[in-house]
């Protein structure tokens, strides 16, 4: 049984299901919810003077709101963390820290050409994580 589970969380139904799963499956573990702000999603708006800072501020506020709401629903102690970068890389890097002995993340369930073109964060984490990974669908 894991003692400290890293749960990448973005407020989607998949990440909500993952949080419910880990709380039910490993009730005695410690949990850290990780929200990764992906700068790629800034799009063209990040190219105008001053817009990048505004975008990051809004993204961080949104992330904190999602994490706060999840913490309230969990009805128990949850650590939270916000990082910026490519989601798969950030998740793997954070998972490599000594504190974590398991990663649990949701899968968006893309299949076929969509998965090939867009990539799969869950697949990349499974392949590169230094700790065991549970993918919840």
Q: How does pLDDT run across 3-60, given as a tens digit for each residue?
A: 999 999 999 999 999 999 999 999 999 999 999 999 988 665 555 556 788 899 999 9
Distance of alpha carbon 123 from alpha carbon 22, whole angstroms: 19
Q: Shortest CA distance to 95 belongs to which of 2, 1, 18? A: 2
Range of the domain at 24: 4-136
Q: pTM here?
A: 0.88
Structurally, the chain folds into a number of domains equal to 1
Q: What percent of the chain has pLDDT over 90?
A: 72
Q: Rg of the chain's alpha carbons, rounded to an integer? A: 15
CATH of the domain at 39: 3.40.50.620
């Amino acid at each position: 049984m894991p003692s400290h589970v890293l749960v990448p969380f973005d407020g989607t139904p998949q990440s909500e299901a993952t949080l419910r799963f880990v709380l039910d499956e490993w009730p005695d573990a410690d949990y850290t919810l990780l929200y990764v702000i992906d700068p790629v999603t800034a799009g063209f708006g990040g190219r105008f003077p001053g817009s990048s800072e505004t975008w990051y501020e809004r993204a961080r506020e949104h992330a904190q709101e999602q994490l706060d709401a999840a913490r309230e629903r969990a009805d128990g102690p949850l650590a939270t963390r916000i990082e910026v970068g490519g989601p798969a890389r950030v998740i793997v890097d954070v998972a490599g820290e000594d504190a974590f002995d398991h990663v649990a993340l949701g899968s968006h369930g893309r299949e076929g050409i969509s998965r090939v073109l867009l990539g799969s964060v869950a697949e990349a984490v499974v392949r590169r994580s230094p700790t065991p990974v549970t993918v919840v669908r």
